Amino acid sequence: MSEHEPDVHGHCDARFAAVRLAFEENFRDRDELGAAVAVTVDGETVVDLWGGWADAARTRAWERDTVVNVWSTTKGPTALCAHILADRGLVDLDAPVAAYWPEFAAAGKEKVLVRHLLSHRAGLSGLREPHSLEQLYDWELTTARLAATEPWWEPGTVSGYHALTYGHLVGEVVRRVSGLRPGAFLEREVTGPLGIDFTIGLPPGESGRAAELVHPRAVSSSEQAAIFSQLTPAAIAALTNPLAGAAEANTPAWRAAEIPAANGHGTARAVAALYGVFAGRGTYGGRRILSAEATERVREGQGSCRDLVLGAGFEHETEVGLGLWLSGPNGSYGPDPRAFGHDGFGGSCGLADPDAGVSMGYTMNRMGPHIADDPRKMALVDALYRAL
């Protein structure tokens, strides 16, 4: 295995040779370290590739069952939990959050709807008071602070990416209704029955097969100052309170916590399967998880805008549905603007295109500087759609 062109393992249908080529080019031309990509078409796996190194020192090969923290790609499975409850009539997406979580009505939030949580429109992109990582790991403390705080903007009017708070907000509604946090609910309802290798947090004893995340290129102090000069207080709260990166995500404490916005661990195969539930209009592996109507609701656009947290990073306005982002004019999830998915900080991605019957999962450990649309991911998406 050479440093820049490691062996690529797995299976790729001949029709999707372009995806394998793009995956190999990521190692050769785009500084990939270790990664995996999987694609399903009509529920059948047509691409399942992996290669490279699972650690920065290049002492562990990336294996078939290597899992890695996928950051915000976790938000898709977390949204799925809420939609399962809504599909069963246990949650009304147009009801006030306080109907399920009474304490949430504090500080002018009595009219915030469940759909506002799913669409990053609740105005709670981050907490106003300092909130450490150790405090983020405390579910009860974090949800209590979210219930007590006031929104940064009028809820429902515009999106502002809830980078870390999303999972606790949606997750607490799941917990109040089902009695289970999202990790346990997802396991009971989806990953357990379907045998999908994905968890929120990393179970004890699994760390030996977890890839080590590697920091993106360091940003100079002048670049950092330029970035922060463009951020609103709501954006600073979303992205830095608390601040988490590769070093933090590699720790036992991060892995042991439940952070349904950001610490899902899985294989690319698992990500493709979870987003395959959406691509299959609610059915995957012969099992119906959601009704077709509920699946369509996931991509119900809530209005395009310059997102208050991420807006400066995109050429066009973006639009979030009820839990996932629409491909839109950016083509983030392929040429169909109504395809949808979610990216994870540094590069990972889950994609669902029900009209084409396609899902994709991409996982990696060398983080790029992008919150979304990493060039490695976009090369794979472009190759996938050329092959269809």
Residues noted as catalytic: 72
Closest CA to 293 of 151, 110, 87: 87
Q: What is the gyration radius of the CA atoms in the chain, in angstroms? A: 19
353: helix, coil or strand?
Answer: strand
State the maximum Cα–Cα separation within the chain, in Å, rounded to a whole number. Answer: 58
Q: Are strands 287-288 and 325-326 parallel, antiparallel or unpaired?
A: unpaired
Residue 3 CA to residue 5 CA, distance in Å, equals: 6
Residue 89 CA to residue 154 CA, distance in Å, equals: 28
- At residue 88, φ and ψ (nearest 5 deg) are -90, 0
Is the Cβ–Cβ distance between 74 and 162 less than 8 Å?
Answer: no
Burial (CB < 10 A; 0-12, 13-18, 19+), residue 115, is buried
Residue 200 CA to residue 70 CA, distance in Å, equals: 10
Q: Are strands 198-200 and 340-343 parallel, antiparallel or unpaired?
A: unpaired
Strand order from edge to edge, sheet including 264-266:
68-69, 264-266, 198-200
Residue 296 CA to residue 298 CA, distance in Å, equals: 5
388: helix, coil or strand?
Answer: coil
Q: In sequence order, which residues have a C-beta less than 8 Å from that of residue 167 and are 6 or more positions away?
A: 74, 75, 78, 182, 200, 259, 260, 261, 262
Residue 316 CA to residue 7 CA, distance in Å, equals: 37
- Residue where the block lists tokens 């994609």: 351
